[in-house]
Amino acid sequence: MSLRYSSVIAIILLLTACADQPRSVKPVVATPHSEVPKISGVVASDEAAKTATTVADESPKPFDLTRPDIVAFIDSLSAKHAIPADELRALLGQGLFQPKIIVAMTRPAERVLAWWEYKDRLVSNERIARGREFWNTHRDRLSTIEQKTGVDAAIIVAIIGVETNYGRNMGSWRVLDALMTLGFDYPRRAEFFRSELEHFILLAREESWDPLTIRGSYAGAMGAPQFMPSSYRRFAVDGSIAGSVPARRDLFTDWDDIAASVANYFTAHGWQSGQPVLFDASVPSELLGALDRRNLELDRTLAALRASGVTFESTLPDETRAMLIPAETATGPAARIGLHNFRVITRYNRSVLYAMAVNDLAESLR
């Protein structure tokens, strides 16, 4: 999602004739969840910043399909997946380069948020209240999924709450535009986004989606849980059909599918049922200054933490793997201890701030 940092949606032209009619999907027009800062502490490079400045005043425009990189992409997909090249050109010919997406991806952060500032944005009283309302509305299905998968219902609700405010803000960009723009005009991560564009094309064929109607984040994430196309293909499930390979998986409007897919993502990444996520700790000042929020690995043991002067309350075995996380308060530096399930949350969005927000929102919902 791991992530981290971590809501959003979109789809494409049906490339081959299909006996089934496309599934009707309600278009979403909303503020992309990705506009909520996912802070890693890394700002854009000078080169990326220049790219953003260069395109900032441009207007959306079609892509030149004679570009060598686009020609190569079409030829590769056609050969790998037996999709006629003409159909791919017809689809990609409808994509638009969106300069604002480049700006959004490359602009340097005005500042790096401290944990308490990040928490105030994502674990607000309003989001807690909406989360409790959401849980009450979907209590039966969430309970069933929790019993079946072992993934805490509160975590499922918190993920959806942090990602899209419980489905309210799923994104306003056409996914085709987002993935083409980033795949062909964002060199820093072009390979990744071209791969996601490939998955998106295949996903649309598999799900018989209505072309060009779905919208998502400016990074191409989709649905209430904000899955990228590759994650959608791999982890989305039909929550109403137990134990079968799903023919259709709706992460936009079907809450059975949405909740079950979030749970499936967590089980696939090793969620341990009934185990804690993190706990607070008192940390010597000399350790606080050396903490790196980019570290997402369980690189210590509880015994080693105690030996270094960290104090905390836990009955877990000394050999339990853990990470020490900076968690600044409004009054100064502080830290918390993340455990295995904390690391699993960072697979959804690769940010310790994100994972702490999900945990704290879940705790507030219980």
Residues noted as catalytic: 163
- The C-alpha atoms of residue 197 and residue 76 are separated, in whole angstroms, by 12
Q: Which token pair is 179?
A: 């993935």
Element (H, E) at 85: helix 85-92
E strands, the chain, where? Answer: 61-62, 96-97, 173-174, 215-216, 278-281, 300-301, 321-326, 335-338
Q: How long, in residues, is the chain?
A: 366
What's the rounded Cα separation, in Å, for the pair 188 and 219? 13
Does residue 6 have a cis peptide bond before it, meaning omega lies within 30 degrees of 0? yes
Please say whether the dihedral angle defined by the alpha carbons of residues 135, 138, 142 and 144, taken in this order, is positive or negative.
positive
Q: In whole angstroms, what is the distance from residue 133 CA to residue 199 CA?
A: 34
Which two three-digit tokens encode residue 39?
């802070």
Q: What is the DSSP string of 114-154?
A: PHHHHHHHHS-HHHHHHHHHHHHHTHHHHHHHHHHH---HH
Taking CA 92 as the corner, what is the angle to CA 90 and CA 93, rounded to the nearest 5 degrees? 60
CA dihedral (116, 118, 123, 124) positive or negative: positive
Q: Which residue has the tokens 């936009």?
A: 252
Distance of CA 55 to the CA centre of its chain: 26
Q: Which of 275, 45, 32 is nearest to 151 (CA)?
A: 275
